[in-house]
A and B are shown apart, each in its own frame.
Chain A
Amino acid sequence: MIKKSFCIILCILVVGMVFMPATSTYSAAIVTTGITGVVCALLSYYGISFASVGLTTSDIDGGIYDLLVEYAAYVGASISTLFPASNVVRGAASLISIGGTFLDSFFEFVTWLVYRNVSAGGTAGSISEGIRIVESTQIDGYPVMLYPGERYQWAANSDSPWIEITGNSSPVYIWWAISRVNSNWGTVQVYSVSSYSWAFHYWASNGSDYLTGQSTSGAYGYYNQLGNVWADRIMPKDGLYINNGFFAYDIAAAAPTISQGGTGLRITGTPAIPQVLPTDVTLGVTGLTSSDDTVDAAGEYVLSAVSSNVLSTTTINTAIPDGPFVSRGLESVFPFCIPWDLYHMYQSLDAQPVAPSFSWLISIDRLGISETISVDFSDWDDVAAVCRKMELLGFCVGLILVTRKLIRG
């Protein structure tokens, strides 16, 4: 009886495994690939952790949290199962660290999302040409995104006390995001500048300009007219990050000079734009048109629903399914879900081992006793590691015995 039941479950498992690749794919509604999210993903790929991700609002803005949600949907999991040990929530004030084998897959997925935005014959420097990830010689070899043609993307961190941009050309578009250490994203502002000589500083907590003290109430910036020469420094307050940003300038004019003080991800010299695409990424997605793309209120690229497009070819990652996408896989429907439910059940219990540490306050006022008893198991980390190995061996022995019983009937 037990054997028959087990056979039925195994058959369900096998059938599910056979059919799942053909039916379980990624069903996306509107996918937003925000600059913040992609840059965070890129820098995370190189081991940089961010103090906070996403926005505090409920709007999907394309931040890294949204990308993680999209990725989870793509792999048929939930955020909580992907990161059982992490506090990954929208606008989290916690540290998110992406690593391990998950990272490569996630990075490829983000790359795929980005390159979906590319259409053949797109206009240079426009949305239709898409976002390109290039190797930057300005930022110590870190990859950054460039908008082909006129725009320059930077990335920085809290080690950088300022970013200075000078040049003879007028900036036409400035965007950056800041965040406070161990807090949520700060002000994210988008500026569309129609005339030259605008300059922007960060806001002080009272709403005034951080450098000048001038009130910024009702305004998005601070005029800094310097004739035909545009120059300004973007000054983060102490404890703030400039995570990333970009500005655009007149392509006909000379490229501006960007410099950055302090240490960390340095930006020096004059950016050479456009730069060369890395050879390991090939543009091959066709079938999209510029009309498929829009820009949301935050100036971020919004990709159209997958179902409305047909990706005929891609050379980016053949492991990612092409063709029309369907919405559900066998792993999520009853009764085929049972093996995966079993797996997810154990997976939900998986977490990074943490040595138990407790403190008890024993207070007996009548006797004047007030003592705190602390128990910290971290002293026994080595012993615990050995015990875990032994438990694993015992589990394997148990499986062997069960296997023998199953096979013999």
Chain B
Amino acid sequence: MCVDYGTGVSFVDYVISLLPSSPFATVFAQIGNLPYLGYLNWFVPVGQILGVMTVWLAAIATYYLYSVFMRWIKLIGD
């Protein structure tokens, strides 16, 4: 398989490069090094909650996409 993104992607990449970087990324990266996170996870299933939340977000996003589409074709009201 050979994929050539071409100049379109280059332009998108240029536009993206104008945007500021995430202001939170470094903060979250440091949180991962905190001690006693294992203790927290002993009480709260953070990983599993994260997994459920991810799936839930995807489901909600899909629902809203569908709702936008259905409103667009006047299948449902506003």
Select B22's contact among A333, A399, A403, beta carbons within 8 Å: A333
**Residue of B37, B38, B42 with highest tally of chain A CB at under 10 A:** B42
Q: Mark A1-13, 1 if CB is under 8 A from B, else 0.
A: 0000001001101
In the complex, residue of chain B having the shortest beta-carbon distance to the beta carbon of A324: B5
- Interface positions, chain A 346-362, Cβ under 8 Å from B, are 346-356
Dominant secondary structure of chain A at its interface with chain B: helix
Q: Is the pair B64, A323 in contact by a Cβ cutoff of 8 Å?
A: no
In the complex, residue of chain A having the shortest beta-carbon distance to the beta carbon of B65: A14
Interface residues on A, range: 35 or more
Q: Is the pair B50, A326 in contact by a Cβ cutoff of 8 Å?
A: no
Q: How far is the CA of A332 from the CA of B49 in the complex (A)?
A: 23
Q: Is the pair B21, A403 in contact by a Cβ cutoff of 8 Å?
A: no
Q: Does A213 contact B (CB under 8 A)?
A: no
Expressed in whole angstroms, the minimum distance between the Cβ of B49 and any Cβ of chain A is 5
Select B37's contact among A17, A78, A84, A336, beta carbons within 8 Å: A84
Q: Is the pair B64, A353 in contact by a Cβ cutoff of 8 Å?
A: no
Chain B residues positioned under 8 Å from A321 (CB to CB)? 3
Q: Is the pair A399, B43 in contact by a Cβ cutoff of 8 Å?
A: no
Q: Is the pair B50, A23 in contact by a Cβ cutoff of 8 Å?
A: no
**Residue of B28, B31, B36, B48 with highest tally of chain A CB at under 10 A:** B28
How many residue pairs between the two chains, A and B, have CB atoms under 8 Å in the bound complex? 160
Q: Is the pair B61, A350 in contact by a Cβ cutoff of 8 Å?
A: no
In the complex, residue of chain A having the shortest beta-carbon distance to the beta carbon of B40: A349
Select B9's contact among A23, A312, A355, beta carbons within 8 Å: A23
In the complex, residue of chain B having the shortest beta-carbon distance to the beta carbon of A381: B42
Q: Is the pair B32, A14 in contact by a Cβ cutoff of 8 Å?
A: no
Chain B residues positioned under 8 Å from A350 (CB to CB)? 37, 41, 46-47, 50
Among the 9-residue stretches A55-63, A243-251, A384-392, the one with 4 or more Cβ atoms under 8 Å from chain B is A384-392
Chain A residues positioned under 8 Å from B42 (CB to CB)? 353-356, 377, 384
Among the 9-residue stretches A34-42, A178-186, A199-207, A337-345, the one with 4 or more Cβ atoms under 8 Å from chain B is A337-345
Chain B residues positioned under 8 Å from A254 (CB to CB)? none
Q: Is the pair B60, A345 in contact by a Cβ cutoff of 8 Å?
A: no
Chain A residues positioned under 8 Å from B61 (CB to CB)? 10, 13-14, 17
With A22-B5, A328-B13, A395-B52 already in contact, the answer to whether A356 and B39 are too (CB < 8 A) is yes
Q: How far is the CA of A85 from the CA of B3 in the complex (A)?
A: 36
Q: Does A334 contact B (CB under 8 A)?
A: yes
Q: Is the pair B21, A341 in contact by a Cβ cutoff of 8 Å?
A: no
Q: How far is the CA of A287 from the CA of B63 in the complex (A)?
A: 45
- Interface positions, chain A 305-334, Cβ under 8 Å from B, are 312-314, 318, 321-324, 326-330, 332-334
Q: Is the pair A312, B60 in contact by a Cβ cutoff of 8 Å?
A: no
Chain B residues positioned under 8 Å from A314 (CB to CB)? 1
With A23-B12, A332-B21 already in contact, the answer to whether A345 and B31 are too (CB < 8 A) is yes
Expressed in whole angstroms, the minimum distance between the Cβ of B5 and any Cβ of chain A is 6
Q: Does A223 contact B (CB under 8 A)?
A: no
Q: How far is the CA of A396 from the CA of B32 in the complex (A)?
A: 25
Chain B residues positioned under 8 Å from A395 (CB to CB)? 49, 52
Q: Is the pair A19, B52 in contact by a Cβ cutoff of 8 Å?
A: no
Chain A residues positioned under 8 Å from B53 (CB to CB)? 346, 399
Q: Is the pair B64, A349 in contact by a Cβ cutoff of 8 Å?
A: no
Interface residues of A (CB under 8 A from B): 7, 10-11, 13-14, 17, 19, 22-23, 78, 80-81, 84-85, 312-314, 318, 321-324, 326-330, 332-334, 336-337, 339-341, 343-356, 377, 384, 387-389, 391-392, 395-396, 399, 403, 406-407
Interface residues of B (CB under 8 A from A): 1-5, 9-10, 12-13, 16-17, 19-25, 28-33, 36-50, 52-54, 56-57, 60-61, 63-65
Given A346-B53, A349-B31, A407-B63; 18 other pairs, CB 8 A cutoff? A7-B64, A22-B12, A80-B29, A84-B32, A314-B1, A322-B2, A333-B16, A333-B21, A339-B57, A341-B22, A345-B24, A350-B41, A355-B39, A388-B45, A392-B45, A403-B56, A403-B60, A406-B60
Ordered by A's residue number, 7 sampled pairs between the chains whose C-beta atoms are within 8 Å are A78-B29, A334-B23, A336-B19, A337-B25, A344-B24, A346-B53, A351-B46
